[in-house]
Chain A
Amino acid sequence: MTYESIIGLEIHVQLKTKSKMFCGSKNDPDEREPNINICEVCSGQPGVLPVINREAVHKALLVGLALDCQIAEYSKFDRKNYFYPDLPKGYQISQYDQPICGKGWVEIDSPPRAGARRGGEKTRRTIRINRAHLEEDAGKLIHEGNTTLVDLNRAGVPLLEIVTEPDFRDPAEAKTFLHNLRNTVRYLGVSDADMEKGHLRCDANISLRNPGETELPGYKVEIKNLNSFKAVEAGLNYEIARQTELLAVGEKLINETRGWDDVQSMTVAQRSKEEAHDYRYFPEPDLPIMHFVREEIEKLRAELPELPAQKLERFQTEYGLPEKDAEVLVNERSLAEYFEEVMSELEEWLSSSPSPGVGRVGERSDESIHKLAKQAVNWITGDFQALLKVAGTDARDAKITPENLAELIKMIHKGEVSGAAGKKILTIMFERGGDPSNIARDEGLGQVSDEEAIVVAVDKVIAENPKVVADFLSGKKPALGFLVGKVMAEMKGQANPQMVNSVLSKKLG
């Protein structure tokens, strides 16, 4: 029996701010030395008070707007009371019934379902956001043998908890959503959103129901410790299998929390809801209520940058890129921006200079742009990205400027260098920067497209190889290849092969 899965996500996004959520201590998730970024406030000394971090509120609003959430007119903080050694005050300052961001929604392109009849086709689905609220992170516990050490560097770092409605029907959808969300918060510049580093943490709720049912199931299982995109999908798939098996033999499932074990690839029971905490939420009396002015919010909305989903669509329509290519670019904001800078150089060139083989002077046809865009994306997502990966750097920090890369693409386009030479030039530019035409000249990688020089060489080769010429003229077509090779050798490999071909054909034609 196949059940329908009902999946919802709770995502914690660590906001990238100068200081922590409620004090002036530095917010630095990469700090290795324990208890360096702490002060009397985030270490919970007697008498201290929290103060709201304006930057964190601003960044939370940006995410809320990007997720089309209703922004509260006023919002407050609440205390969530529980004891744990990584929680210095014995309560976490969070938001209970007046979150900063209310209901919202996003669209995702759901990947084809496993076993779906119409294979390969994506469906567009709406995922409703229940809320997004601000809170503070806890510290970290480090277990060493019989002792446990407390590191409070992370205590008080701002978190935005985003809760979706149970609108996912498939683990792959959840993964897609999470992936899009990661891109979105990166585009907004509010978080590095690296799951492996814990900037982005995800818990998933999942339950199963019979196909055709519309009510939510009477239970849900929460999976914690999903520390990668892979884990989210694998954990959910594991739960579907586990719950299906239990339901098949008539077992009644209960609310419980299970942890994902990456090593064993399975979920393990942690606690059932019966043992659940009573967090005794109440309004945080140390903080004032936040009021949001409608006009300010609308101003913020208008200032939102282009988001990844919008960019993905635009790259396909404006540049005619295949979805896969567009996706690779959009997945990394710096790569997408790099691409756009290369394209703007190329478009300018297209509309201002003669461009053989691309269009007439001054013509800026969609077709020609698409053609150049495809070349640009091939270079960027191919050799360039491979070099970036090896070097472990980002497109923004590369020594090749977008202008240089555009120049290289133009040179190839104009036949000034061959594709093979282009790869060599790119590698050199990546290592030490510089102008591609200079590199081509210095390294002898230029390609001769001077028709006169080619005609001289062709004439010489025809004169020196009368037998081969005769063979060709008598119908032995492959003989042409030999002649081309000879011309290329004559020109030390730097001739434009297409031109050699056409000159030869013309002479012998």
Chain B
Amino acid sequence: MDYAFATITELRQALDTKQISAVELAKFFLARIRRFNAELNAFITICENEALAEAAEADKRIASGKVEPLTGIPYASKDLFVTRAVKTTAASKILENYIPPFDATVIARLRQAGSILLGKTNLDQFAHGSSTETSFYGPTHNPWDLERIPGGSSGGSTAAVAAGLVPFATATETGGSIRQPASLCGISGWKPTYGRVSRFGVIAMSSSMDSMGTVARSVEDLAITAEAISGFDPKDGTSGSVKIAEWSKNLPRDLRGLRMGVPQEYFVPGIEDDVKDRVNEAIDKIRKLGAEIIDVSLPLTAYGSMVYAIVTSSEVSSNLARYDGIRYGLSSAAAKDVFEIYSLSRAEGFGPEAKRRVMTGTYALSVGYRGAYYLNAQKVRRLIVNEFAEVFKKCDMLLCPSTPNFAPKIGGAADNPLFGYISDQLNIPASLAGLPGLCVPCGFGKPAEQRDNGDMPVGLQIIGPQWGEQQVFQVGYAYQQVTEWHQAKPKGF
């Protein structure tokens, strides 16, 4: 078996039938990480010793028959999740040497399930970005074309899964940071309903939108990992107590009788022709599976990015205040008084994008501007929420592109501070409304301007109503039963 590109279900079987031990499997993936990370830069930290110790424990569990679906399955975590005793940087300089004394709830649940953490993946610094280029540790490269970005901010996680370095990885999304890089790296990604997965222990970007999900090789794998990390957490006052169904057991479903809406506004001006074509082909496939396809309209889509820019930068400006050089993290050696501890530590420790967002947010929340920016943005956000609620009276789910573009060359996104807002414009509205979304690979294509390039992946997005995880998984699963795009492997890995 090719373990590198095997699904969780396949690996589960290999472990349970003793074809391979958890320690051997961990070693196998650790070797791949060591081999390919130099060219991908997908990992910031590799925790080999901890992983092998946990894998030995998992082998004991497997021997004793006390196995959960993820026992012995290796994974990587976006370096935004705090991990006890394992360095957690948020891809920043200011947390370069931060070793947390506790686990994020998601990490704790995966630990409980017996999943093996192999390392921490690269991301845009503090998740600020859509290209993984703002990382203090350098950009991650797209396995489909090393000259290109993997998308972001969860680019390290999606590149690692796409290159077969781990079977799945944790990821986070505030406005597209799971769906967009999953799309650009040609893998499956799940952005949960806000409140479905605990945010506790995940370094906050924008608290009212941050959603913790996973990226993997298939929708089935997503459903398995989703079951392991979802559910109410007493440590997170915004986590929901809605019951989790057995998503992975209820995946097969006849799509007949389902009504899928296609929001016309999501085929934005500037969308790549190949993206549009692949997504329309995928929609056609779903029609052929029996679902009814209707056109719907979400006229407020265009305002999403503006609302997002104001709300997230406002929350960012406050969420980053704790990195002050007093208790942990970088504290400037040059500081002569308390004011300089703040100003110099933050000046040295934050990258330009973090500074840009802190300044924007501070401005937006200031007396005299609060009403014009923050409060108005929240009102428009409410209208967007209402607009989705209305459209879900007409259809069960939405089908649309994950992102209008292909992965650009490294440097191309960094030079354009608005790249993220353009690239994530089809993800942001659902994020503002806290809705669940799925990205599934739906083919390949070439950017219109660069026809001489190799083919790059395209992703189909499925958006469900609040708490509608089960049904988006079912549609994604049905699609993957009749397509093979999710099984494609990049060359050289």
Contacts and interface: CB of A to CB of B under 8 A. Distances in A.
Interface string B103-127: 0100000000000000000000000
Interface string B230-248: 0000111110000000000
**A44, A51, A285: most-surrounded residue (chain B CB, <10 A):** A285
B203 A286 contact: no
Given A40-B102, A83-B342, A285-B315, A45 B367 contact: no
Contacts of B315: 282, 285
A282 B235 contact: no
A280 interface: yes
Contact of B318 (A48, A85, A91, A288): A91
A45 B328 contact: yes
Contacts of A220: none
B238 A46 contact: no
Contacts of B324: 83, 85, 90
A278 B366 contact: yes
B237 A90 contact: no
Contact of B365 (A49, A52, A280): A280
Interface string B299-339: 00000000000000011011011111011100000000010
Nearest to B328: A45
Contacts, number: 103
Interface residues of A, number: 29
B370 A282 contact: yes
B90 A45 contact: no
Contacts of B104: 47
B475 interface: no
Given A50-B237, A288-B237, A45 B100 contact: yes
A178 to B, nearest CB: 31
Contacts of B206: 285
A47 B202 CA distance: 4
B229 interface: no
Nearest to B204: A47
A282 B314 contact: yes
Nearest to A82: B321
A86 to B, nearest CB: 9
B82 A46 contact: yes
Contact of A44 (B80, B100, B322): B322
B236 A49 contact: yes
Given A280-B362, A285-B315, A48 B207 contact: no
B95 A46 contact: yes
B237 A49 contact: yes
A45 B82 contact: yes
B321 A285 contact: no
Using C-beta atoms within 8 Å of the partner chain, give the interface range for chain B.
35 or more
Contacts of A44: 322, 327
A45 B366 contact: no
A64 B76 CA distance: 50
B346 to A, nearest CB: 10
A83 B321 CA distance: 8
Nearest to A150: B326
B28 interface: no
Given A88-B327, A91-B318, A46 B207 contact: no
A52 B202 contact: no
Contacts of A150: 326-327
Contacts of B201: 47-48
Given A46-B95, A47-B203, A286 B322 contact: no
A43 B203 CA distance: 14
A49 B237 CA distance: 8
A91 B321 contact: yes
A51 B101 CA distance: 19
Interface in A70-90: 79, 81, 83, 85, 88-90
A287 B327 contact: no
Nearest to A81: B318
Nearest to B92: A46
A30 B365 CA distance: 38
Contacts of A48: 200-201
A296 B374 CA distance: 34
Interface in A33-63: 40, 43-52
Interface string B14-44: 0000000000000000000000000000000
18 contacts: A40-B100, A43-B327, A45-B82, A46-B88, A47-B82, A47-B204, A48-B200, A49-B200, A50-B237, A81-B321, A81-B365, A90-B320, A91-B321, A278-B366, A280-B366, A280-B367, A281-B370, A288-B237
Interface of A: 40, 43-52, 79, 81, 83, 85, 88-91, 148, 150, 278, 280-282, 285-288
Given A47-B104, A88-B326, A89-B322, 11 more contacts: A45-B328, A46-B100, A46-B204, A46-B322, A47-B82, A49-B199, A52-B237, A85-B326, A88-B327, A280-B370, A285-B238
Interface of B: 80-82, 88, 90, 95, 98, 100-102, 104, 199-204, 206-208, 234-238, 314-315, 317-318, 320-324, 326-328, 338, 342, 362, 365-367, 370, 374
